[in-house]
Chains A and B, each alone.
Chain A
Amino acid sequence: MIDLLPVPQDRFHCPCGAAELVVDGFSLPGMMPLARAGCPACGRRFACHLHVGFCSSASLMVEEASGEIANSMAPDWYAWELQQMWQSRGRPAPAVEIRGQPIADGRDVVIVNTLDPTYGHNIARMFAVPSVRSFNPDAAIVVIASRFMAWLTPDCADQIWVVDAPLRELHLANDTVDAMAAELARRAARLRYSPLFYSLAVRIEDFTKIDPFDATSMDDVLPARMAFNWREDRCWTQAGRPLPPDQAVAEQLRLTTLLFETLRREISDLEVTVTGYGRSGSFPGWVEDLRILEQTDEAEREWVRRYARSHLVMGMHGSHMHLPSAHAAGGIEIVPTAYWATAAETWEWVNHNSAQHALQRYLKIAHSTSVSDVVSIAFMQLRRMQAGAAFRVMSRLPDAQARERLAVLAHQAIQGGYPLQVTDKDGNPI
């Protein structure tokens, strides 16, 4: 936790190499927390990123006069975002709405800033809020969140600053946030900036306020339910072949339809819901299509309610799969080659599972996987999750005959899936 008052308690060295910078103030123009500092040796001034988040062990600063990045040991992309932010100062600031309780003067306040132009990083920062609360039970917690992320703010936060900016612009300067932070600094007895990123014990229901899948009755075993989280900027194509965007979307529509229809032939009571952003094409009438173009909190809540009832959620790998996977009984992500390095980032919620359960519930398969394999794995995983639910319900039944009745009803699910072969229109396996 970094104290911001009277000036940020953080240390920086001047690129001139002759002196440590003298910190004399701070600013928070949106995503980037900055210490304002000058060099007693060379006289230059710098805006230095506090040692938090992606800079927790790396220096990163911008020279105020030239706007040039200096002393950067941060990842290149992050340094680029800082430079972009610096250059965007003075632009019309996106609106900021205050939700929650007023913060009384003289309080000890902790700021948790979740702004980031990457959705997964927003979630990762949001995951820290309950930990900040548990470490600071008496402090007022102010969460800075984007409009689409605000609904995930845990109830333990006192106030939310809701920034109405598109995701891709969340790293840019926001003078309104800066002014609000300065005002807060004037009124707070103590103001701190949370360095936390993630938390090892994330309860997803603290964020969505919706309990994840649990098997308590037969309704949780049958019928088979799955959800597919759709996106159009990263599409499932046959064996991962690269296609122009519109063709990739069309192919994804064809493959998902093939997936649903093939599974439905094996599981006659299968229920499928498609969620996500983008409304290209249409699915067979029995598929529930909840895709949208514009985010609303209620639409996302409705999706999460579906995930929490699903035995299986599927989709391309990405941060859009966090909430589906965290709520469903099991998940399958299709991972493009370039994304393996981050395939399990921001999955801290998975720690409520034992290690072995996590391995059994969540599968990540390569984009080069054949369509037949994807469909087969989905079938087997769906049945496995149903069988797991059946055994869990049975384990809660004291009466052996009741267990046997349930086993009979869930017989097909317990028997499990098997490999399926999907063919193209010429009958060739794909």
Chain B
Amino acid sequence: MRVSIKISAAILLIVFALGAGSLVWMRNSIGANIWQLASVRSHLPDLHFHMTDDNGKIVTQNDFHGDVVLLFFGFTSCPDECPATLMRLTAVLKQLGKDANKIRVLFVSVDPTIDTPKVLHDYLKNFDPGHMTGLIGTNRQIDTMAKNYRAAYEPRSSESNDIVHSNAIYIFDANGHAERIATPSDSDEKVLNDLKQLMDVP
């Protein structure tokens, strides 16, 4: 009995040490101070898709290899959030100047019934068409992508005309590895800072 108490105590200690250790590890992976956005490195899958772009071409992640990718979900008839995010990204890209050429914004439409390539193409002209690509997929493709990135998504239904979708901007490095996640409440400076880190620009 004595021995088993000692061993139990030892196990408890080990469990708590492991808990504390993993906590420190997670903190480090999130909070290293050169970065300002939340890290998702090695926690979310690599960029992977097979969709139609706003020019009607079939594209995959390979077409954007070498670019830092900013991916987010939205739709052209979205009343406020989507245009607001696109406006912000346009402003950020402008501040980057020439370096913006190493960046690609992927706007994944969650409204495949209304958003055709042409509609998307015309919509993106309002922002920064040179650095932005609209993506259209089948319901299933959008579903899979949203699920992979833990993004909430509910399409239009007979009961509700609303589309539930995530506001997050998922940021991938030039090799397609998930790196950071940005929210609408993160300041432009933070986004800018982390994009520069990823592009290795001073």
Q: Do A and B bind each other?
A: no
A residues adjacent to B (C-beta < 8 A):
none
